[in-house]
Amino acid sequence: MIDNFALRTKNLNLYYGDFHALKNVDFQVYPNAITALIGPSGCGKSTLLRCFNRMNDLQDDVRIEGEIYVHNERLEDIDIINLRKKVGMVFQRPNPFPFTVYENMVYGLKVHGMGSRKTMRDIVDRCLHSVGLLDELRDKLHAPALDLSEEMKQRLCVARLLTVEPEIILLDEPCSALDPIATMRIEELMMELKERYTILIVTHNMQQAARVSDHTGFMLLGDLVEFGDTSQIFTSPRDERTEGYITGRYG
């Protein structure tokens, strides 16, 4: 049987030193859809997300057991540079480099040695357009990126990621530093992006998961308690712990 998952884990266990952070997690992400991971702080949802582009490697004392697949390829078989090109990430806090907008946008391209000046300019325009920033920033390409509003910074980070043409985008609580209107606009952006990309989002905002995602996983203390269609999870959860969380009994 050939699975058609963009990302999947089998029996995944992760330890920070002695702390067992992920416990036997079997999880999958469908292509060209938005999958949300919800759960209270410290449940392991960000840790799981960071497994897919090996960001956990940057921390000391992390041990990972089990299988992780990206498009049916074992994670260990993928060169880390290619993996991070394929699986991009947007972080919790908008984090443009302290350079100009343009330099931020071409950073990934330069790292990969992609394109001449002319094609770079085209790619920059196209990616800024994808995140709805082109009109606002067309004349400000050489302004410092840190002068933008928080929402624009986060959009810029998404656009910066798009330049390297990832297939899968990991979003780690991308709206937690934004106000409600900016959050709404980033959510609209996600809906547009899912046409072309596979998206996995970690959020502590249940309404956000309900609004944007197709599939939802609920995590608690390192366990993936329940995984299913978003509508099912939010209307008829099978596990009482899930029900307890989404009805606000804890978390």
Q: Closest approach of Cβ 199 to another protein, in Å? A: 15
Which CB, 156 or 224, lies closer to another protein? 156
CB of 162: closest distance to another protein in angstroms?
11
Nearer to another protein (CB atom), residue 30 or residue 97: 97
Spatial CB neighbours of 32, under 8 Å, sequence gap ≥ 6? 194, 195, 196, 197, 198
Whichever of 6 and 224 has its CB closer to another protein, that residue is 6
* Spatial separation of the C-alpha atoms in residues 214 and 198, rounded to whole Å: 11
Tokens of 193: 């992006």
Nearest residue (CB) to another protein, 84 versus 241: 84
Task: State the Cα–Cα distance between residues 223 and 218, nearest whole angstrom.
Answer: 8
Q: Where are the beta strands (DSSP E) in 119-249?
A: 168-172, 198-202, 215-220, 223-229
Residues at the contact surface with another protein, assessed by CB under 8 A: 53, 55, 58, 80-85, 88-89, 91, 93, 95, 97-100, 107-108, 110-112, 144, 146, 157, 160-161, 164
Nearer to another protein, 164 or 210 (CB): 164
Q: Give the per-residue SS3 of 138-149.
A: HHHCCCEHHHCC
For another protein, the closer CB: 110 or 138: 110
Please state, in angstroms and rounded to a whole number, the distance separating the CA atoms of residues 182 and 187: 9
Identify the DSSP state of 30. -
CA–CA distance, 29 with 169 (Å, rounded to integer): 11
CB of 167 to another protein, least distance (A): 13
Per-residue b or e along 98-122, where b marks 16 or more CB atoms closer than 10 Å to that residue's CB: eebbbbbbbbbbeeeeebeeeebee
- Closest contact distance (angstroms) between CB of 249 and another protein is 34
Cβ atoms < 10 Å from Cβ of 215? 21
Shortest Cβ distance from residue 242 to another protein (Å)?
30
Q: How far is the CB of 121 from another protein (least distance, A)?
A: 19
